[in-house]
Structure 1
């Protein structure tokens, strides 16, 4: 039987199926996440999310919001199935249905330019000059990638 998990990368918003060649366990999941300390978050009664415990850190360029968890999650996320025992297995939820519960977010900086209406009467600030930088959070739905990667 094939062992797969779903891997969400908030940087690219790709949510893909990844085959694990050994049993689904902490070591291969931590390797996928690229972290030293893995945290488990309940997704539903049949699934767990595995996340980087230290994923929310300075210099964060992307994060994920899960509608089933009260705070943002930093770093990559792995979704795996569980039957209540200590072992994990392939998810029983369709990747598209799982993706509907996430939003990948990243900060975006938009330049604001001086317009003709904002030019000073003495003409000290020419139209088209940079007036400000506005920060907003862009939210994207994950894009499920079907088939093993």
Structure 2
């Protein structure tokens, strides 16, 4: 690919290379991400991340943690080479190197069932009845394609 960009999907944890149609255009980056309102975050001295500005919202089903950044990121994340003083270019690091800095997360609800010997104020509770749900965060490394 001539103008390569790495794309990470928070929802699927898939990390893949894609072609950037115009490295001089923020509109081309916006099209890849799927949003007109984007934010740039420094990945390192020679790379930048572009994310949807308002991706963290109610009803969020997945997000990504970027090592060293205080806020989770959501939706699609684009990694490009360049420091902003020149047109963006293909990343100079491998996808494997970049993937080490991300953790894709998804909230999971685990059912908690009533144990066989539990008693309630009104008498016996049937064993196996749903008592509650516990929330945990499932974390995984990006899947490279």
When the two structures are superposed, what TM-score results if normalisation uses the length of structure 2? 0.92
Name the counterpart of 1:59: 59
Name the counterpart of 1:100: 100
Q: Runs of 4 or more off by more than 4 Å in structure 1? A: 119-123
Report deviation, 1:24: 5.4
> How many Å separate the matches in 1 of 2:23 and 2:110?
45
* 2:113 is the alignment partner of 1:113: yes
Deviates more, 1:67-76 or 1:17-26: 17-26
SS of the residue 2:29 aligns to? helix
> How many Å separate the matches in 2 of 1:86 and 1:132?
54
Residues 67 and 102 in structure 1, CA contact (< 8 A), matched pair in contact too: yes
Alignment of 1:12-23 (within 5 A): 12-23=12-23
Distance change >3 Å, CA 60–CA 5, structure 1 → 2: same
Aligned Cα root-mean-square deviation (Å): 1.8
SS of the residue 1:117 aligns to? coil
Residues 105 and 137 in structure 2, CA contact (< 8 A), matched pair in contact too: yes
SS of the residue 1:27 aligns to? helix
Name the counterpart of 1:73: 73
Residues 65 and 72 in structure 2, CA contact (< 8 A), matched pair in contact too: yes
Report deviation, 1:116: 1.1
Alignment of 1:26-41 (within 5 A): 26-41=26-41
Residues 6 and 95 in structure 1, CA contact (< 8 A), matched pair in contact too: yes
Superposed CA deviations along residues 70-111 of structure 1, whole A, max 9, x for unmatched, are: 111121100000055231000001000000000001110011
> How many Å separate the matches in 2 of 1:63 and 1:35?
16
Q: How many residues align?
A: 145
Name the counterpart of 2:50: 50
Structure 2: gaps of 5 or more residues: none
Report deviation, 1:120: 4.6
